[in-house]
Amino acid sequence: MDTFEQRAEKAAADARLRGVLRRAAGVLRGLRERAFADFGDIEAAKARLRKARLRSVLRLPEMLTRLEERVTAAGGVVHYAGDAHQARQIVVGLARDRDVRLVVKGKSMISEEIGLNGAFAEAGIESVETDLGEYIIQLAGEGPSHIISPALHKSKDEVAALFLEKLGKTAETAPELTQIAREALREKFLAADMGVTGANMAVADTGSVVLLENEGNIRFSTTCPRVHVAVMSIEKVVETLDDAGDVLALLPRSATGQRMPVYLSVFTGPRRDGEADGAGEFHLVLLDNGRSRILADPLMREMLLCVRCGACLNVCPVYKTIGGHAYGWVYPGPMGSVLTPLLMPSRETFALAHACTGCGACREACPAGIDHPGLLLELRRRGVEDMGWCGPGERLLAGAAAATLARPLLYRGIMGGLRALDPQLRALSRFPGLRAFARTRQVPRLKPPFWSRARAMDRERLRRGGDR
Ligand code: SF4
């Protein structure tokens, strides 16, 4: 299997992909900037969102207990899943027990995280993605490359070719392509026995699940079939509807540049007597899958504040160069580089912590104020300490560099010597193995120390006749 470095190198060399990514991320970033242009005090709103999220994350067991009570009181059923395997078993078990043959799914990163479509397929149950982007990548047999726009890596022409190949339909414009998907999905909505969605939030005080979308497919998936199953990671609970409002003030703006999404649904339990539509059964599956471990880590629990807006991806120079698939799992970009190694710690996933230039654009864009660069630095440190990221040779070199940098005179001496050798270094480019290294590197010229710069400035002032 390819390593992260190999995948990233391959993706970075794909000029077509880079072009698509930059254009798409640029559009999303532009929409976000426009949505915030007349917003008022963004920092105050960010502080409110962070406070609301922190309040529930730091009291997670209490919040989840209250949520379970309220969902149960409203007629729903709450299930706890410790890991992805348990979550798959619960959801597929619910479908099997009810003799479900067809499931329609709303866009949900959690169902990607637990590999739900694969589990349905193994159980012989058809599951159809109904979000347009998810539908496209399901037809293509690919995973999402962005948490908000799963098919962001695909151009319109590629989608047209895909629809022709898989559905036998021809279209040229985006509205025509959308119409094809709409017609194909409409009959699935009407025939489905179960709708599976994620959840943007659940409110502990009311037992409600909050879902945002723009296409109406989630409304269909939750109202047409007789059973609605929502799968949510445990940290997405908020305490009150007011707290949900604080999240909603920034989430759609940060995600798609909208003040509000086209559809905002708040479900509390299944359909009640006298109500015209809605599923007759409602199940909420709460997934841990490593979140309790993150919660117990005082430095890393900050990542649980993430509201999955995707804004950090759209501003990240690494994401815009390599795209989402290179990250190797469902969560790409800065949020994925932090979350993936925390959820699935391994030497391979800790490599993601190096996918950062330290520019800080993600921290600035994040509505929850998550300090991704700081968390990634800490993960790099843990990679060295716990994952064997650093061999004895590297340790020796790093120790020598640290000792040299702590002694300015020694550093200057070494850099001066290397600079004198610079022409010889360039001559190394004649050797095939060293060509790329020697061609692109130069020993930098150091600035003179500040005291000689101050002296030079004094001299210049005197030459101009002193201060007037
Ligand atoms: S880390 Fe922040 S910017 Fe990135 S997806 Fe989460 S909330 Fe959005």
| Ligand 1 atom nearest 311 alpha carbon | 3
CA of 352 to the centre of ligand 1 (A): 16
Tell me the pLDDT band of 447, cut-offs 50, 70 and 90. Answer: confident
User: In the prediction, which pLDDT does 232 show?
Assistant: 98
Characterise 168 by phi-psi region: left (phi > 0), alpha (psi -120 to 50), beta (else): left
Indicate the DSSP class of residue 423: H
Euclidean distance between CA atoms 346 and 416, whole angstroms: 41
Closest residue by Cα to residue 211 from 266, 259, 253: 266
CA of 277 to the centre of ligand 1 (A): 34
Residue nearest to atom 6 of ligand 1 (CA): 306
Ligand 1 interacting residues, C-beta cut-off 6 A: 254, 306-312, 335, 365-368, 370
> What digits encode the pLDDT tens for the residues 123-155?
999 999 999 999 999 999 999 999 999 999 999
User: In the prediction, which pLDDT does 467 show?
Assistant: 52
Distances (CA, A) of 114 to 83, 253, 286: 8, 28, 12
Euclidean distance between CA atoms 384 and 369, whole angstroms: 26
User: In the prediction, which pLDDT does 388 show?
Assistant: 80
Residue ranges per domain, the chain?
Answer: 1-38+310-390, 49-293, 405-465
> What digits encode the pLDDT tens for the residues 397-440?
889 999 999 998 898 888 888 878 777 777 777 777 777 777 66
Q: What is the mean pLDDT of the chain?
A: 93
Residue environment code for 62-89, b if the CB has 16+ CB neighbours within 10 A, otherwise e: ebbebbbebbeebebbbbebeebebbbe
What would the CATH number be for the domain defined by 49-293? Answer: 3.40.50.10420
3 state SS of 27: helix
Mean pLDDT of 24-50: 93
pTM here?
Answer: 0.87
User: In the prediction, which pLDDT does 385 show?
Assistant: 87
Residue 468 confidence (pLDDT) above 60:
no
Mean pLDDT of 315-324: 96
Tell me the pLDDT band of 452, cut-offs 50, 70 and 90. Answer: confident
User: In the prediction, which pLDDT does 438 show?
Assistant: 72
Angle of helix 42-57 versus helix 241-256 axis, rounded to 10: 120
CA of 450 to the centre of ligand 1 (A): 40
Top mutation candidate among 307, 343, 352, 356 for ligand 1, by most atoms within 8 Å of CB: 307
